[in-house]
Chain A
């Protein structure tokens, strides 16, 4: 479904040149959920942005659903892949009602029966029709993220790019959104690429994952291996350890 080979993302040039992503390759099969894990500055979000065209592809190739992506991306591409952003407070237009937000993609792609599609999309993300004419400031963080997911799904894409979809939410709301994403994937046969700094979240949602650091791929592993603590790489080990919480007399491996 998605095939990334030797992806490079470079910003600026000369002295200001920043290699945000260096030679990253991975493939994701249809219906699979793939995680990108790393700390800030690891380039994990940049990979996601390069796939959908928000960051430049400076080298390598990106194949989505059998087609190499073009710059600028075609309308068909946007019907294939959609993105959910980290901060639900920033990703919804503050002056648009839920209705307008959901109607916009339908209008852009001239989809008919917007009415039923909007109601259906609200239902899919577990919100009733009463939410349809609310403004973002009338919604909680979790409800906003549900709207953002509904907006991403309303064009019936095959791929969902998730950029830290739960890190701005409270723990209990995170659980609801993770369950929702899990259900939607099974019902619609979606392919996910999930970016997160939280190993537990990635292990929960994804089968396979790529650990990244300083723009480079560190190792590709599976969530099963993470759960049993079988990471070959030292950096991955330190991430696993840090995610277990604070330990008082532990070895200074994390430093």
Chain B
């Protein structure tokens, strides 16, 4: 982690980072980042959340090395089926005699895929619509906000169901369905922030320098809205993961045999009483990762958006 060496050796680097007279663009930017990092680490739960999210990232990246068995090919169906957690199978095996740990490890890739894809689709759409509508106002605002209202009126899971029913089941379609229902809140946040920023003197000042409207929106308004939207996206991640898992559970998300956590819980429910670990282990994974994103979001809010924290 970037800040830890600075914490252990306080004098040289820290003084450089906290300098009141930075000598370069980079020093100023790093100094700011360091201050943010310092207030972030004050919140221990947020650091835990960051740890969980980084762990997810690490596991997904190195799944090939970390997983002891194949996530798809099972073992001997007569002897290795539904085994309880043991030294050979740390988290037990499922009804196809596959190692649950390996499946969870590979499943993290799917979870990460969902999270990343939804955020890179929904965040820019929300930001763009929100800032444009807030900055331009008038009929543009009315039209864009009514569109937002329409999307806001769709129940996320039902739309996802309809979408998947139309396009066929699969994780990609589920992601698209989630993404198009999750941007409206971001647009609303960005618009509210923009309305406050729009009339401030520093925007008037850049207008008087002859800046074009896109330049003002992207160079001056968006950076100020970005932080509160990022906080909101992070806090929403838990919900997105749950929705994706829910779709998997209903058999509409990732298709077997892919090791999606929601689908794993779904298969486990047949053995819930006698072989609890089949459903519980992926359930715990979903729980931990959702919690991690929530804690991280809370911590980010304290750093990026001090107004909302109060």
Contact = CB atoms under 8 A, between A and B. Distances in A.
Interface of A: 52-54, 73, 75, 77-79, 82-83, 85-87, 90-95, 97, 99, 104-105, 108-109, 130-131, 133-135, 138, 148, 151, 155
B210 interface: yes
Contacts of B208: 52-54, 78, 82-83
B219 interface: yes
A199 to B, nearest CB: 24
A151 B20 contact: no
Contact of A108 (B201, B209, B224): B209
A69 to B, nearest CB: 13
B28 A97 contact: yes
B215 interface: yes
Given A133-B27, A134-B20, A87 B209 contact: no
18 contacts: A54-B204, A73-B210, A85-B204, A85-B205, A86-B201, A91-B201, A92-B202, A92-B205, A104-B206, A105-B209, A108-B210, A108-B211, A133-B21, A133-B22, A133-B23, A133-B27, A133-B28, A151-B209
A99 B211 contact: no
A141 to B, nearest CB: 14
Listed residue (A75, A83, A85, A133) with the most chain B CB atoms within 10 angstroms of its CB: A133
Nearest to A54: B204
A133 B32 CA distance: 11
A90 B219 contact: no
Given A104-B219, A133-B23, A75 B210 contact: yes
A73 B220 CA distance: 20
Contacts of B269: none
Listed residue (B201, B206, B215) with the most chain A CB atoms within 10 angstroms of its CB: B201
A78 B287 CA distance: 56
B223 A95 contact: yes
Contacts of A133: 21-25, 27-28
Listed residue (B23, B25, B28) with the most chain A CB atoms within 10 angstroms of its CB: B28
Contacts of A91: 201-202, 204-205
A133 B20 CA distance: 9
B32 A135 contact: yes
A108 B210 CA distance: 7
A44 B208 CA distance: 18
Interface in B1-47: 20-25, 27-28, 32
Contact of A134 (B28, B209, B223): B28
A92 to B, nearest CB: 6
Contacts of B21: 130-131, 133-134
Contacts of A87: 201
B205 A148 contact: yes
